[in-house]
Every structure is written in structure tokens, then in C-alpha cells.
Structure 1
Amino acid sequence: MSAIEAKLAELGVTLPDGAAPAANYVPFVQVGDIVYISGQISMNADGLITGKLGDDMDTPDGAAAAKTCAIGLLAQVKAACGGDLDRLVRVVKLTGFVNSTGDYTEQPKVVNGASDFLVEALGEKGRHSRSAVSAAALPLGVAVEIEGIFQIK
């Protein structure tokens, strides 16, 4: 077990297998030491986490949904690293899309669910740049989708 997976276990998190693409794309692309991870949607063992922030979902629930996206991102990084998550050097950037109403303005607080988790799990290598934007709708009605850029060795 990698040191990162040991830390995740301390946090009560077991990485799932990376989700298979739902359309005509690949889950990740590696260019040199940079890995671009396709958007991971909010889902857990019970299935999709759906909802619209500012309508039928509140900010803490949105942040919890964003955390599941971060877990999905790490699962894809593990796959990109051939199963050795200790090859992760750092999280470079996240772009978070929040399914929200036109007057909802707490997208950054929602995406903090992913950012806070990555810093808690990875320490300094989890600190990253990021964007948090509103989306009128997301695939399958999910609450959050997050894509990421990671550096590996």
C-alpha cells in the first residue's frame, strides 16, 4: 500500500477503480510528467449524487459531492501511475463545475469540498490552483463535476 493510500485509509477513504469513460474520450492523458484527468462526476457507492445548488441542494451537501469528485480524480491518478499512487508529485490545478441556479454564488465553497480533502490527504502536494464555475446543468443531473491536472514522476 502506498503512503498516500495509507493516509487515505486513516481518513476512512478507499479508492475505487477509476470510472470508465461514458462517451468518446479517455479517462486521462499523460504528456511528459503531467497527467490531465477528465471530469469526474459526483458519485458514491450508492450511485450518482444529483441536485442543483441553490434549489434542492445546499452548500455543505455540494461540498460533500465535490469531495467524491476528488476521490474519483485520485483513482484516475492511481491508474495513470500504474497503481503506484506514491508517484504523485502534486496536484497542479482543478476546474470545478457546480450545477447551480443563476443566483447561487457559493461555487467556491462547494469546490472547497474537493480542495480541502486533497490538502488533508496529500499535505503540501495537495495544494493547487483552481477555478470554480457555475453550470446551468451537468451530465446526468449530477451536482458537481471536477477535472484535474496532476504532476507525476
Structure 2
Amino acid sequence: MSRIDSRLAELGIVLPTPAAPIANYVPFVLSGRFLFTSGQLCLGPDGKLADAHKGKLGGEISLEAGQQAARLCGINLLALAKAALGDLDRITRVVRLGGFINSTPTYGSVPGVMNGASDLMVEVFGDLGRHARSTVGVAQLPLDAAVEVEALFEVA
């Protein structure tokens, strides 16, 4: 078992089957030493969006539920990276995460929501999981998801 697979098992994380694209794009692009992912929604292990993760932060979704949604996005990013690379040990650095938070216009805690994904990357990769990040509040996301996250990984 690879080092990262062992770490995921320690954390009790089982990677799901990556979701298929819902429009005209590819799920990832491997270019040189970088893996660029398309945004991943907060789909659960069953591939569905739970009611607890539908809607707007600052509205019907709490900060804690938003953080859980962002963590699910991170898990889905790792599943996508494993599908792209075959082995998560090929990731040498989490370079950047980009977060999109479905929020009301005045919601000011979008960075706190995104910590759900950021904290996961550090839990899994240690210091190599520390990354640059952008997080923005948006008016709407596909399927009325609370959170969407994209990633850039450096690979060997």
C-alpha cells in the first residue's frame, strides 16, 4: 500500500469513483509536472449531493456544514488525482486550491468554509499539502452545491 493510501486509511477516508463531467470539459489535464483538475463538487461517497450541502452559506447552510462540504470536495479531488495518476504518491506538492462558495452577498466567512478542503490536504500530505489558495463567494453553483473546489498538484 502506498504512503498516501496508508494515510487515507488512517484517516478513515475511502476515495469514491470520480464524478463524470457534466458538460463539455475534461476532468483533469496532466501537463508536464502539473496536474490541473476541474472543479469538484461536494458529492458524497454515493455520488450524490446531500441536502445538508445544497444551498447558500449565510442562508440555509451553516459554517460547519460548509466546511464538511469543502472537505468532501477535497476528497473528490484526491479521487480524481488518483484516477489521473494511478498513485497519489506521485504528488510531490499541493500547489494551489481554488474554492467557490455558494453564498449570500454579505457572507464574510468564505475563507473559513474553504478550510475544510485546505485542512484535509495538510492532514493527508503534511507540509507538502500547504498550498496557495483563492476563495470567492459566488451567486450559484451547479446542482445548487454549497462548495466547489479545483486543484493544481505538482507531480513526479
TM-score between both structures, scaled by the size of structure 2: 0.94
> Which structure 2 segments of 5+ residues have no match?
none
* CA distance in structure 2 between the partners assigned to 1:10 and 1:80 by the alignment: 23
In the alignment, what sits opposite 1:9?
9
**Which structure's residues are more often strand, by fraction?**
1
Of 130-139 and 16-25, deviating more is 16-25
The separation in 2 between residues aligned to 1:54 and 1:24, in whole angstroms, is 31
Deviations 1:36-83 (A, max 9, x none): 0000001113521312100001111100000000001111111121x2
Alignment pair present for 1:117 and 2:115: no
Classify the secondary structure of the residue corresponding to 1:44. Answer: coil
Contact 2:16–2:45, Cα closer than 8 Å, also in 1: no
- One-letter identity of the residue aligned with 2:59: D
- Where structure 1 has 5 or more consecutive residues not aligned to the other structure, the ranges are none
In structure 1, what is the equivalent of residue 149 of structure 2? 146
Deviations 1:96-152 (A, max 9, x none): 000000010100000000000110111011110001100011001000000110011
Aligned residues: 152
* Deviation of the 1:33 alpha carbon: 0.6
1:1-153 to structure 2, matched below 5 A, reads 1-46=1-46, 47-48=48-49, 49-81=53-85, 83-153=86-156
Instruction: Indicate if the aligned counterparts of 1:53 and 1:143 stay in contact, CA closer than 8 A.
Output: yes
SS at match of 1:43: coil
Of all paired residues, the percent bearing the same amino acid is: 53
Task: Find the residue that maps to 1:67 and give its secondary structure.
Answer: helix
| Contact 1:42–1:50 (8 Å) recurs in 2 | no
Counterpart amino acid of 1:55? G
Alpha-carbon distance in structure 1 between the residues aligned to 2:68 and 2:145: 13
CA RMSD of aligned residues (A): 0.9
Give SS of 1:140's match. helix
TM-score (norm: length of structure 1): 0.96
Runs of 4+, deviation exceeding 4 Å: none
